[in-house]
Structure 1
Amino acid sequence: MNDLKELLNEISDLTNTIETQYPELYQFLEEDPMTLPVARHPKVDKSTLEKYLQSLRELLKHHLETHNNRG
């Protein structure tokens, strides 16, 4: 369970960084933070969270490589 908490913390931290430091990128997260899943029982496990965290990292990395680097 600790692994899941750590993943969720990393996702939260990275999402917060994107939202506050790269607001132009935040719109591309393809999610509305206020939206609930449509599926009755969506599968959210460690693998799903790891993939989502990796996609956030790649999105930010690509943005930094292709736009003016802010740091």
Structure 2
Amino acid sequence: MEAESELNNQILKVTMLIRKDYPELSKYLLEMPETIPGIENPEMNKKVLNEYLNSLKEILDKYAPNHGIDILNI
């Protein structure tokens, strides 16, 4: 598993890609349960960051086949 800083960098990269090149997917960023934790002071750790990154990639993975996105390079 990667370091937290690397996970944060990857999350930023995928988020910026979505917002810049696929703004129609931006609405899903706000609806993701990972962005709205059920507790007041959630703990951010590698597991949580990795789950969030995977959920971002999943959005692109579902969108990619119809729109020519190469998610392997993300």
* TM-score, normalisation: structure 2: 0.73
Structure with greater helix percent: 2
Once the two structures are overlaid, the 10-residue window that deviates more, 21-30 or 39-48, is 39-48
Give how far 1:44 is off. 1.3
Classify 1:64/1:50 alpha carbon distance in 2 versus 1 (closer, same or farther; 3 Å).
Answer: same
Runs of 4+ off more than 2 Å: 35-40, 67-71
Count residues with an aligned counterpart: 66
Q: How far is the alpha carbon of 1:37 from its aligned partner?
A: 6.3
Following the alignment from structure 1 to structure 2, what is the Cα–Cα distance between the partners of residues 49 and 18?
17
Give the number of the structure with larger relative contact order, counting CA–CA contacts within 8 Å between residues 6 or more apart. Answer: 1
CA RMSD, Structure 1 to Structure 2 (Å): 2.4
Counterpart residue identity of residue 4, structure 1: E
Residues 1-71 of structure 1: matches in 2 within 5 Å?
A: 3-29=3-29, 30=31, 39-65=39-65, 67-69=66-68
Q: What is the alpha-carbon distance in structure 1 between the residues aligned to residue 16 and residue 41 of structure 2?
A: 26
Rg larger in structure: 1
TM-score with structure 1 length normalisation?
0.76
1:17 to partner: Cα distance = 0.3
